[in-house]
Amino acid sequence: MTISCALIVSACSSASAPGSGNVDNPASGPDTVERALIDLTGTYRGFRGGLYPNGSNSIPTTHASAGSSRAKNIRPLDVNGNPAATGKYVLLSVGMSNTAQEFCGGDMTTGCASETFMGQAASDPQVNKSALVIVNGAQGGRDATNWTSASMPTFDEADKRLASLGLTPKQVQVVWLKQADAGPTKSLPDANADAFALENRLGQIVRAIKVRYPNTQQVFVTSRTYAGYATSTLNPEPYAYESGFAVKWLIQAQIDQMERGTIVDTRAGDLNYNSAAPWIAWGPYPWAAGMTPRSDGLTWDRTDFGSDGTHPSTSGRAKVGALLLNFFKSSAVTKCWFVQGQTC
- For residue 119, the enclosing domain spans 73-338
Residue 344 confidence class, pLDDT cut points 50, 70, 90: confident
Give the angle subtended at the CA of 115 by the CAs of 139 and 100, to the nearest 5°: 5
pLDDT at 92: 98
Give 103-162 pLDDT, tens digit per residue: 999 898 888 999 999 999 999 999 999 999 999 999 999 999 999 999 999 999 999 999
Classify residue 56: in a domain, yes or no. Answer: no
Share of the chain above pLDDT 70, in %: 92
pLDDT at 9: 25
Q: Answer for the pair 226, 288: CB distance below 8 angstroms, yes or no.
A: yes
Classify residue 334: in a domain, yes or no. Answer: yes
Quote the number of domains for the chain: 1
Q: Catalogue the E-assigned strands of 228-342.
A: 279-282
Classify residue 136: in a domain, yes or no. Answer: yes
Worst-scoring range by mean pLDDT, 25-34, 44-53, 239-248? 25-34
Classify residue 40: in a domain, yes or no. Answer: no
- The residue type at 265: D
CATH number, domain containing residue 216: 3.40.50.1110
Task: Please report, for residues 105, 201, 207, 225, 258, the alpha-carbon distance to residue 219 in angstroms, rounded to integers and kept in the order given.
Answer: 21, 15, 11, 19, 16
Residue 237 clears pLDDT 50, i.e. is over it: yes
Classify residue 132: in a domain, yes or no. Answer: yes
For the entire predicted model, the pTM comes to: 0.92
Task: Please report, for residues 77, 162, 243, 292, the alpha-carbon distance to residue 228 in angstroms, rounded to integers and kept in the order given.
Answer: 43, 35, 14, 12
Classify residue 54: in a domain, yes or no. Answer: no
User: Hey, which residues does 133 pair with through a beta bridge?
Assistant: 90
d(CA 20, CA 199): 11
Classify residue 5: in a domain, yes or no. Answer: no
Classify residue 182: in a domain, yes or no. Answer: yes
Q: Answer for the pair 216, 173: CB distance below 8 angstroms, yes or no.
A: yes
Peptide bond into 278 cis (omega under 30): no
